Amino acid sequence: MRDISTLIIGAGQAGLAMSHCLSQRSVEHVLLERGQVANSWSTERWDSLRLLTPNWQSRLPGFAYTGDQPDGYRNMAQTVDFLASYAQQITAPVETDTRVLSVEPMANGYMVRTDRGDWTCRSVVIATGACNIANVPSCAADLPAGVTSMTPLEYRNPAQLSDGNVLVVGASATGVQLASELRRSGRQVTLATGEHVRAPRTYRGRDIKWWMDQTGILDMTLAEVDDIKRARGVPSLQLIGSPTKETISLNALQAIGVQIAGRVMGMTETDVQFSGSLPNVCSLADLKMNRLLKQIDEWIETHASNEMIEPSYRLRNTIVPKDPLLRLNLKQAGIETVIWATGFKPDYSWLNVPVLTPRGELRHDGGVVDAPGMYVLGLPFLRRRKSSLIDGVGDDARDLATHLSAYLNGTLAAAA
Amino acid sequence: MTQTQATPEQLNGVNVAALLGAREALENAPEAAEFTWKATSEWQNGAHTRMEMNGFFGLGEEHARNKTFAIDSDHPEVFAATDVAPTPVEIVLAGLAGCLTAGIASVAENRGIKLRSVKASLEGDMNLYGILGVDSNVRNGFRAVRVRYDIDADASEEDIAALVAQSQKRSAVFDIITNPTNVFVTVA
């Protein structure tokens, strides 16, 4: 049994950023990592994936991109290399290949059991990520025999699938990217979409993420939004990090032959049923995108009116099929695979501390978990809109490291 | 959004504070959010039926109103019926209009937008081959429903479009029409 002041569970960007911030405050700590640094990036992503954010937009505490392609998008190998370099530079004390089996409360701290020995500690930082488990709706259980059900965590490339056609459910970043790749592999693809967030890759000559950074949209804090639950539930933008800076959208997908349909609402013995709300979810996404572009326009007007910037424009509204699909007979449509790109959730099955809501979410206030000395980071809108980005976790780590060290020093009240 | 948002009086006669308060209260009392809506009906003659609505269940108890509401339905003369009341499918369209329009008023109130007039025209396309049993590939119900809003308000075109979109997103009847529902019909 080893004892330490603080244990960080997970050595991805969140755990590493926290490690650096704790080292700066001389808080003795160790990171427990089930695999190697950046494990999820290296083992749970599909082959063609590149980050949605440009290379420059990965500023971590004490580390940043220094390569010669600031506007490019890292593939997964490059992402893993980047985080491994960070771990090396900050000499993060990572115990690799160490899986946490359970965390239990004990007097004045926690007991953390791993498959390589047990620890006691006063403080725990949960940095295991927001995407451990793929959400799959219950109707997936009713898929007819002969249709393979797959999640994005299992998907690697089109060659892995049978030759048949594909239904992709969900049109956030994951769903649109997989629909595009599978369509280009020669399969007929149907893409079912509920509410989604549309955005162009570039606008007025710059990456959309650059504008969101410049305008302060990504820096928005919890105090600046009126509905936190809604802000935390906003799906990922329909973006792809491609070397050609391609804009991926329902229009672009339809142009290459992807058929779009409404949200999946149910399953009969033979058919998938789609919602008739497709026109409205497209309209909501167009309106929301235009509000974002307007916000950028207004920022330019105020802050950069003298600069030479492309004039304002709007993208064509989403083209909704004249008679959107309401039912699809899977067999008749030759669909052999259904991919559930319907979001992810964290896995807290190892956490034996009463801090979960009935819905299985952590009870926390901006990352300060509802248990003494326990923290979480890396979740969507934890403290800021950018909280779940590599570029955004650093500010959260700084804030929470301040809180954590005050907790350990017994000066929390003074710090607050 | 606009300056009027700060003023306490209601712009469109919707008590938004009460609605937001109810939302907060119900989040902490999930069982109170379970409602059951009710209607009864009695056949009159031919295609003519009378429906009545009064009680409903919600907030953990049965509610009775002071007044019982009645709606009649019938079929038009071209269906060889007495045409004393709208057809049930027209009542469905009316329900959609009522629900979406109430939503527009609420969302506008919440966003500080004063509505001067909100008018909708609705159309539902139906092929009679379905209900007549001529072609089993034709469904009985609407093939498509169109709702056209004509709104006069202190707001930009985009803000008005956003009201209408948000109202659909939160509408019960829009959901009932666009998504499948299990229906259980029994005989006493």
Query: Model confidence over A157-189: pLDDT tens digits?
Result: 999 999 999 999 999 999 999 999 999 999 999
> What ipTM describes this predicted complex?
0.84
The DSSP code sequence of chain B is: --GGGGSSS-SSS--HHHHHHHHHHHHT-GGGG--B---EEEEEETTEEEEEE--EEETTEEE--SS-EEEEE---GGGTS--SS--HHHHHHHHHHHHHHHHHHHHHHHTT--EEEEEEEEEEE--TTTTTTS-TTS-SS-SEEEEEEEEEESS-HHHHHHHHHHHHHT-HHHHHHHS---------
Measure CB to CB from residue B165 to each of A265, A266, A280 and give the nearest one: A280
Which pLDDT belongs to residue B3? Answer: 41
Q: Is the pLDDT of residue A413 over 90?
A: no
CA dihedral A141, A144, A147, A149 (to 10 degrees): -10
| Contact in structure between A20 and A62 (CB atoms under 8 Å) | yes
Which pLDDT belongs to residue B2? Answer: 41
Q: In sequence order, what are the residues at sequence separation of 6 or more whose Cβ sits closer than 8 angstroms to the Cβ of residue A316?
A: A251
Cβ pair A287:B169 closer than 8 A: no
Dump pLDDT digits (tens) for B115-132: 999 999 999 999 999 999
Q: Chain A closest CA to B70's CA: distance in Å?
A: 30
Phi-psi region of A366 (alpha: psi -120 to 50; beta: other; left: phi over 0): left
Mean pLDDT of the region A41-46: 96
Which pLDDT belongs to residue A264? Answer: 97
Q: Is the pLDDT of residue A125 over 80?
A: yes
Task: Give A-chain residues touching B175 at CB under 8 angstroms.
Answer: 277
* Residue that the structure tokens 């672009």 belong to: A252
A340 forms beta bridges with A169
Q: Is the pLDDT of residue A416 over 70?
A: no
Question: How far is Cα A339 from Cα A189, in angstroms, rounded to an integer?
Answer: 11
| Contact in structure between B48 and B81 (CB atoms under 8 Å) | yes
Q: What is the band of A414 on the pLDDT scale with cuts at 50, 70, 90?
A: low
Which pLDDT belongs to residue B7? Answer: 46
This model's pTM is above 0.90: yes
Mean pLDDT of chain A: 96
Which pLDDT belongs to residue A122? Answer: 97
Cβ pair B180:A277 closer than 8 A: no
Q: Is the pLDDT of residue A257 over 70?
A: yes
Q: Residue B20's closest chain A neighbor by CA?
A: A227
Question: How far is Cα B174 from Cα B172, in angstroms, rounded to an integer?
Answer: 5
Q: Chain A closest CA to B40's CA: distance in Å?
A: 28
> CB-based burial of residue B11 (10 Å sphere; 0-12 exposed, 13-18 middle, 19+ buried)?
buried
Cβ pair A276:B178 closer than 8 A: yes
Question: How far is Cα A245 from Cα A383, in angstroms, rounded to an integer?
Answer: 30
Q: Chain A closest CA to B75's CA: distance in Å?
A: 27
CA B31: distance to chain centroid?
Answer: 24
Q: Quick count: other Cβ atoms within 10 Å of Cβ A316?
A: 8
Q: Chain A closest CA to B154's CA: distance in Å?
A: 18
User: Hey, which bits of A115-186 come out as E strands?
Assistant: 117-126, 133-134, 148-150, 165-169
CB-based contact, B179 to chain A, within 8 Å = yes
CA B95: distance to chain centroid?
Answer: 4
Q: What is the band of A67 on the pLDDT scale with cuts at 50, 70, 90?
A: very high
Q: Quick count: other Cβ atoms within 10 Å of Cβ A153?
A: 17
What's phi and psi for B20, nearest 5 deg?
-70, -35
Question: How far is Cα A121 from Cα A97, in angstroms, rounded to an integer?
Answer: 20
Report, as ranges of residue numbers, the positions in chain B whose pLDDT lies below 50. 1-7
Write the single-letter amino acid at A372: P
Report in angstroms the alpha-carbon separations of A212 from A184, A242, A285, B27: 30, 19, 17, 32
Question: How far is Cα B188 from Cα B181, in angstroms, rounded to an integer?
Answer: 22
**DSSP class of residue A277?**
T
CA A9: distance to chain centroid?
Answer: 18
Cβ pair A275:B178 closer than 8 A: yes
Identify residues of A whose CB sits under 8 angstroms from chain B CBs: 195, 262, 265-266, 273, 275-277, 280, 283-284, 287, 290-291, 323
Dump pLDDT digits (tens) for A286-301: 999 999 999 999 999 9
Six token digits for residue A185: 């592999």
| Contact in structure between A274 and A263 (CB atoms under 8 Å) | yes
Q: Residue A290's closest chain B neighbor by CA?
A: B158
Q: Is the pLDDT of residue A358 over 90?
A: no
The DSSP code sequence of A375-416 is: EE-SSTTSSBTTTTSTTTHHHHHHHHHHHHHHHHHT-HHHH-
Cβ pair A275:B168 closer than 8 A: no
Mean pLDDT of the region A64-89: 97
